[in-house]
């Protein structure tokens, strides 16, 4: 599988990584959630080259994660704002931050606390079932081949799915 072909794979994770799967893009998204909106602010905070930053922002706009919104008419100046599609990545970002807080923080602990506005408490993200509301961990999920699966690319069904489907040959 080639990096530039990820968006064509029969896998939602591969397709998602084609949009947000490199470190600069994730850091741009982090800064978006922290309120950064303007190119120069991203450049200053991230220390990334203008070319790389422009490329990542362009891709996020193309995929509808960010929108360019004018904040000044003469001369025209635009800033980058999270779209609804972009805001839906918040839970993903929180999950990555939470993992980092648990496994990568030093003895001082987490560098940023996330406070739930509803109760005022420091929170950590928890994945719950959309149907019953129960917390869900990796061992609580059964996977099945869905209608969107395509085998035309030659990608093999993962062994766990093949066993469940009774298709041991794949």
Query: Distance between CA 115 and CA 170 in Å, rounded?
Result: 47
Long-range residue pairs from 48-52, CB within 8 A, at least 24 positions apart, any chain: 48/24, 52/24
Q: Exposure of 62 by Cβ count < 10 A (0-12 exposed, 13-18 middle, 19+ buried)?
A: exposed
pTM exceeding the 0.75 threshold for the entire prediction: yes
Sign of the Cα torsion 110, 113, 119, 124 reads: negative
Q: pLDDT of 110-151, one tens digit each?
A: 999 999 999 999 999 999 999 999 999 999 998 877 777 665
Helix (DSSP H) and strand (DSSP E) numbers for the chain: 7, 2
Instruction: Name the residue ranges covered by the structural domains of the chain.
Output: 1-88
- The upper half-sphere exposure of residue 89, i.e. CA atoms within 13 Å in the direction of its Cβ, equals 25
40-98 pLDDT per residue, tens: 999 999 999 999 999 999 999 999 999 999 999 999 999 999 999 999 999 999 999 99
Cα–Cα distance measured from residue 78 to residue 68, given in angstroms and rounded to the nearest whole number: 6
**pLDDT beyond 70 at 152:** no
In contact, 71 and 77? CB cutoff 8 Å: yes
Per-residue pLDDT at 168: 43
| 1-88: in CATH 1.10.10.10 | yes
């Amino acid at each position: 599988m080639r990096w530039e072909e990820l968006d064509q794979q029969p896998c939602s994770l591969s397709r998602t990584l084609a949009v947000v799967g490199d470190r600069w893009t994730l850091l741009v998204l982090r800064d978006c959630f922290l309120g950064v909106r303007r190119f120069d602010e991203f450049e200053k905070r991230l220390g990334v080259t203008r070319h790389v930053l422009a490329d990542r922002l362009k891709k996020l706009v193309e995929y509808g994660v960010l929108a360019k919104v004018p904040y000044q008419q003469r001369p025209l100046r635009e800033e980058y704002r999270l779209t609804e599609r972009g805001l839906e990545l918040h839970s993903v970002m929180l999950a990555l931050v939470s993992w980092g807080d648990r496994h990568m923080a030093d003895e001082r602990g987490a560098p940023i606390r996330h406070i739930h506005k509803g109760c005022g408490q420091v929170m950590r993200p928890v994945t719950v079932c959309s149907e019953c509301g129960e917390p869900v961990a990796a061992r609580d999920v059964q996977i099945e081949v869905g209608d969107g699966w395509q085998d035309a690319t030659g990608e093999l069904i993962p062994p766990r799915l093949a066993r469940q489907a009774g298709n041991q040959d794949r």
